[in-house]
Amino acid sequence: MKTVAMVLFPQFLLLDMAGPMEVFSIANRYLPPEQHYELITLGTDHGQLRASNGVSVTADLHIDQADGHYDLLLVPGGPQAYNDNPALLLEWLKGAVTRAGQYGSICTGAFVLGFAGLLDGYRVTTHWHYTERLIKAFPGTHVETDQIFVHDRNLITSGGVTAGIDLALSVVAADHGKKVAQDVAKVLLVVMKRQGGQAQFSPLMASVGPQETPVTRVQNHMLEHLEQAFSIDSMASLASMSPRHFARVFAREVNMTPMEFLQGARIDRARSLLETSELPLKTVAYKSGFGSVRHMRFLFNEKLGLTPAQYREQFS
């Protein structure tokens, strides 16, 4: 029997807890009793803990009482995960992971592990909306921005919310084989392996700054004329700069190259058209500036892991 413990704190995300725990619970239906998962919740507060959606949960044990071995110790996300982590929780985690076979996080729970100093030197991920914040907060960590979950040695982390289900299914598959994990996935009406990664949910284009600068003027011009051809020379001309100087200034202000911004903007425009219209793929490609369906398909596969047709089917 393996023990899975979930650490709960005020304002934790309920689905981050319930999704993975449900996977392990359903897996028990397909396993002999001696191979069942034992599920335990550990709370930072005595009594009830209110989740971010207002639902109250009472943990099985307070962390002061939790000094045993856990095969898997998980931390969910939530507003407190990246805003206010009590020293008591962080100190407890440092000792608890030494008694755990594996430890990990769901969604923004990665920040809790980071503040406890448990991410340095590891490959990790979190919800796409918070990857840049995680990168800046913990420079000693390699953040995978497009993965649904990442397993690195004894640490396993997942992207946002429902990605905790993917994480748990991968653990079940590793423990008991793919067939058991597939059976659990069928009960939950989810797939064992998603098409594409988190990039299909997040915008690829960097936001345009609110203040007018030569760079933001070029960005806005590109967004208004995506169907036109652009080069570094033509962009630099719009900014009244030399190509080399423009490329340096753009990269410094936007944290990506001009061509990366343009490519991301075109993919995002195509995604919007695929989600909200029934335009033929050829028209979508033209209006987004790809020039051909073939080029659009290549970039969709490269950046999103989906073809335009698959994207439309999944998101429209």
> With bands split at pLDDT 50, 70 and 90, how would you rate the model's confidence at 159?
confident
| Structural domains of the chain, count | 2
Per the listing, tokens 């009472």 go with 58
Residue 174 has pLDDT above 60, yes or no: yes
Per the listing, tokens 């009244």 go with 240
Give me the phi and psi of 48, to 5 degrees please: -80, 145
Residue 204 has pLDDT above 60, yes or no: no
Q: Is residue 44 part of a domain?
A: yes
The C-alpha atoms of residue 300 and residue 266 are separated, in whole angstroms, by 10
Here the CATH number for the domain that contains residue 176 is 3.40.50.880
Q: Is residue 120 part of a domain?
A: yes
Residue 71 has pLDDT above 90, yes or no: yes
pLDDT (0 to 100) of residue 161: 75
186 plus 119 within the same structural domain = yes
Kindly report the average pLDDT of the chain as a whole number: 88
Residue 216 has pLDDT above 70, yes or no: yes
Q: Is residue 43 part of a domain?
A: yes
Number of neighbouring beta carbons within 10 Å of residue 267: 25
242 plus 155 within the same structural domain = no
Q: Is residue 203 part of a domain?
A: no
Q: The whole model's pTM is what?
A: 0.70
The C-alpha atoms of residue 58 and residue 16 are separated, in whole angstroms, by 16
261 plus 147 within the same structural domain = no
Residue 192 has pLDDT above 70, yes or no: no
177 plus 231 within the same structural domain = no
pLDDT (0 to 100) of residue 191: 67
Structure tokens at 287: 């209006």
143 plus 11 within the same structural domain = yes
Percentage of the chain modeled with pLDDT above 70 = 93
Range of the domain at 245: 214-315
Q: Is the separation of the CB atoms in 129 and 110 below 8 Å? A: no
> With bands split at pLDDT 50, 70 and 90, how would you rate the model's confidence at 203?
low
26 plus 67 within the same structural domain = yes
189 plus 230 within the same structural domain = no
The DSSP string of 12-66 is --HHHHHHHHHHHHHHGGGS-GGGPEEEEEEESSSSEEE-TTS-EEE-SEEGGG-
Q: Is the separation of the CB atoms in 105 and 126 below 8 Å? A: yes
Q: Is the separation of the CB atoms in 147 and 198 below 8 Å? A: yes
Here the CATH number for the domain that contains residue 267 is 1.10.10.60
175 plus 245 within the same structural domain = no
237 plus 160 within the same structural domain = no
pLDDT (0 to 100) of residue 286: 93
> With bands split at pLDDT 50, 70 and 90, how would you rate the model's confidence at 193?
low
- Please name the residues in contact with 155: beta carbons below 8 A apart, sequence gap of 6 or more: 102, 103, 104, 113, 118, 119, 122, 124
Distances (CA, A) of 290 to 82, 107, 224: 39, 34, 15
Decide which of 93 and 204 is more confident: 93
Residue 235 has pLDDT above 60, yes or no: yes
DSSP state of 246: H
Q: Is residue 133 part of a domain?
A: yes
Nearest to 188 by CA among 24, 2, 4, 7: 24
Q: Collapsing DSSP states into helix, strand and coil, what is residue 156?
A: strand
